[in-house]
Amino acid sequence: MEIYLIRHTTPKIGKGICYGQFDVPLAETFQEDARKVCSLLTDKIDIIYSSPLIRCLKLAEFFNPKQAIVEDKRILEMDFGNWEMKEWSKIDQRELKKWMSEFVTEKAPGGECFTEVSERVRSFLDDVINSNKNKSDSIVIITHAGVIRTILCQILEIPLHNAFKIAVDYGSITRIHIDDLTLYKSIGTINHLNCECMEMR
């Protein structure tokens, strides 16, 4: 089983704005960006899962407008609660400093911590693997940087507080291989961009 974790393309939002689950639109470059992402995948896609946010759903539909897309709230980005759509510089700096040093367990007011994100994402991934085990499927999951980082932390068995050391760019692809018999997870590529053709299994 091959799982392709794809981060949505560039959103239309100013720099320095905090956004997680707020449904921001996509940049005017979406069509070009989406074509670049699609050019990296030459395998037949059997299943597409997507975050319910429009910045993910539009890319999912671009892959194959006629293919059913499975939306799942468990792969939404982190909920920043009361900080959503505020400038980082205008958030209470004491609260922000505490969150930045302890984001694994600390929540933005009205939001969730990174551990909670990891737990819901783990539940989602377990369900995807269990429902597709013993099949040689190619699965696409279109989601957000925080979600992809939690999955990589789980597979690499690294602490969540190191998650943001992993680069996950807009429109990048991370490939995970799941052994059909043992369900052993290994990572083929991380943060792959449209600079060369992706080697497929």
* 148 is a domain residue: yes
What pLDDT, on the 0 to 100 scale, is given for residue 135?
73
Q: What CATH code is carried by the domain that includes residue 99? A: 3.40.50.1240
- pLDDT at position 23: 97
Alpha-carbon distance of 158 to 60, in angstroms, equals: 29
- Residue 197 forms part of a structural domain: no
Per DSSP (E only), the strands in the chain are 2-7, 47-50, 69-71, 138-143, 173-178, 185-192
Q: Letter for the amino acid at 127?
A: D
Which pLDDT score is estimated for 200? 34
Strand partners, 70: 49
Cα distance between residue 104 and residue 55, in whole Å? 25
Q: Of the candidates 198, 134, 201, 133, which has an alpha carbon nearest to the alpha carbon of residue 172?
A: 198
199 lies in some domain? no
The pTM for the full model equals 0.93
3-state secondary structure (DSSP) of residue 198: coil
Please report the pLDDT score of residue 30 as a whole number. 97
Q: Measuring CA to CA, which residue among 26, 19, 22, 10 is closest to residue 171?
A: 10
Number of domains making up the chain: 1
Domain assignment of residue 200, yes or no: no
For residues 183 and 129, is the Cβ–Cβ distance under 8 A? yes
In a domain, 151, yes or no: yes
Q: What is the pLDDT of residue 193?
A: 87
| Token pair of 12 as six digits | 């239309």
Query: Which residue range is the domain that position 129 belongs to?
Result: 2-192
pLDDT at 67: 80
pLDDT confidence of residue 134: 67
Q: Is residue 132 part of a domain?
A: yes
* 156 domain residue, yes or no: yes
The alpha carbon torsion through 30, 148, 187, 180 (nearest 10 deg) reads: -100
pLDDT along the chain (201 residues), means of 10: 96 96 97 94 88 97 86 98 97 96 97 98 95 82 98 96 96 93 90 59 33
